[in-house]
Structure 1
Amino acid sequence: MSMLMEIIQGLGSIIVSLVNIYVWVIIVTALLSFVNPDPYNPVVQFLHRVTQPAYRLVRRFIRTDFNGLDLAPLVIIIALQIVIVLLSALLHSL
């Protein structure tokens, strides 16, 4: 039974790491929005493709545009940090 718990904890830590990486992708995309990068750059296109679904989901339920400042990345980062804390607590309790 302990081997199964170790596998679950390993998979959970991989999921927590992937969520952390996505938080950094959100941060980089938010910072790039201030400099107005080349939209034809493949890295910029990849970042927008990865983050736009989350932005659309948040914008559907919450008004995030305040005086020209989009707060959707902040809402997403806070939600993802809550997910990380909950998953970490769940994994440590096993």
Structure 2
Amino acid sequence: MLIAENFVLALAKILDIVLTLYMWILIARAVISWVNPDPYNPIVMFLYRVTEPVLTPVRRWLPLRNIGVDLSPLIVILVIMFLQTFVVHTMEQMATALR
């Protein structure tokens, strides 16, 4: 069971790192949106390509589109925090239960 425990712990750690990295990418995207960025800048293009597939469905779902503030990054960050708290910790507890 040692192999299964280590495997689940490694998956939980990788998932936690990926979710944290994506959260920081979302924060960078939100900060860049406050200024008028060059749309042909490679960094700006990367941020838009990586975040737009997640933010677009959230924008369609949000009823507050006409207030002038895009709340979709905040919603996605809250979902990421939920996933880190629930899924990653559950995986870690599952791994310790495999002992």
Q: TM-score, normalised by structure 1?
A: 0.92
- Match status 1:52 vs 2:52: yes
Shift in CA distance, 64/45, structure 1 to aligned 2, threshold 3 Å: farther
In the TM superposition, residue 18 of structure 1 has moved relative to its aligned partner by 0.3
SS state at 1:35 partner: coil
Q: TM-score, normalised by structure 2?
A: 0.87
- Match status 1:61 vs 2:41: no
Give the equivalent residue in structure 2 for 1:9. Answer: 9
In the TM superposition, residue 27 of structure 1 has moved relative to its aligned partner by 0.3
Q: Deviations over 1:4-53 (max 9, x none)?
A: 11111101210111000000000000000001110000010000000001
Backbone CA RMSD of aligned residues: 1.2
Q: 1:64 touches 1:72 (CA, 8 Å); kept in 2?
A: no
The whole-number CA distance in structure 1 between the counterparts of 2:30 and 2:54 is 13
In structure 1, give the amino acid aligned to 2:65. D
More moved, 24-33 vs 66-75 = 66-75
- Paired residues, number: 94
- Match status 1:40 vs 2:40: yes
Shift in CA distance, 60/67, structure 1 to aligned 2, threshold 3 Å: closer
In structure 1, give the amino acid aligned to 2:4. L
In the TM superposition, residue 64 of structure 1 has moved relative to its aligned partner by 4.3
SS state at 1:70 partner: coil
- In the TM superposition, structure 1's runs of 4+ consecutive aligned residues that sit over 6 Å from their partners are none
- Structure 2 gap ranges (5+): 95-99
Q: Among the aligned pairs, what percent are the same residue?
A: 34
The whole-number CA distance in structure 1 between the counterparts of 2:4 and 2:74 is 36
